[in-house]
Amino acid sequence: MAENKLQESIATLKKAGVRITPQRHAVLDYLLNSMTHPTADDIYKALEGKFPNMSVATVYNNLRVLKEVGLVRELTYGDSSSRFDCNTSEHYHIICEKCNKIEDFHYPSLDEVEKLAAQVTGYDVSHHRLEVYGICQECQQLDKEKQ
């Protein structure tokens, strides 16, 4: 499955005239296989072993390229650094306010909201973003144990 995705993504890159460098391949591969939503620095650290002298700039450059081609989404939340996510299927995020974990969850796309927003504001709507915040099960458990 992940293999297919990778081949598919590489095909997209080639079609866009983007070169497949080992570093770029590794960044893409890491993002496709990571269930977490890593920061640029996470990716940098994760690939440090394979590419001892890769620079952070390269990670950022590649993330920008992958974003431009539409393979990757950049998520900006309250905390200082951006997180990156493979733009696979439509899904929303739920974020733990204690441990900052980000998990995916599925919900039928809120088309009516987009429609109503367009009507009320006169905007030409392109997309929307929704996040739910709360405390994850593990953190709830930890809280209980403390008391």
Partner DNA sequence: CTCACTGCAAAACGTTTGCACTAGG
Partner DNA sequence: CCTAGTGCAAACGTTTTGCAGTGAG
70: left (phi over 0), alpha (psi -120 to 50) or beta: left
96 binds, among a copy of itself, DNA, none (CB under 5 to 8 A by kind): a copy of itself
Q: Could you tell me which of 37, 82, 33 has the C-alpha nearest to residue 56? A: 82
Contacts with a copy of itself, 74-113, as mask; x by CB under 8 A: x-xxx-------------x-x-xx-----x-xxx--x--x
- In the block, tokens 């995705």 appear at 5
Q: How far apart are CA 30 and CA 86, in angstroms?
A: 10
Cα 16 to the center of its chain, rounded Å = 21
Question: Distance between terminal CA atoms of the chain?
Answer: 44
Q: Per-residue DSSP letters for 69-83?
A: HTSEEEE--SSSS-E
Question: Least distance to a copy of itself from the beta carbon of 119, Å?
Answer: 10
Q: Quick check: 146 binds a copy of itself (CB under 8 A)?
A: no
115 binds, among DNA, a copy of itself, none (CB under 5 to 8 A by kind): none
49 binds, among DNA, a copy of itself, none (CB under 5 to 8 A by kind): none
* Contact set with a copy of itself (CB under 8 A): 74, 76-78, 92, 94, 96-97, 103, 105-107, 110, 113-114, 116-118, 120-137, 140
* Contact set with DNA (CB under 7 A): 18-24, 39-41, 51, 53-58, 60-62, 64-65, 80-82
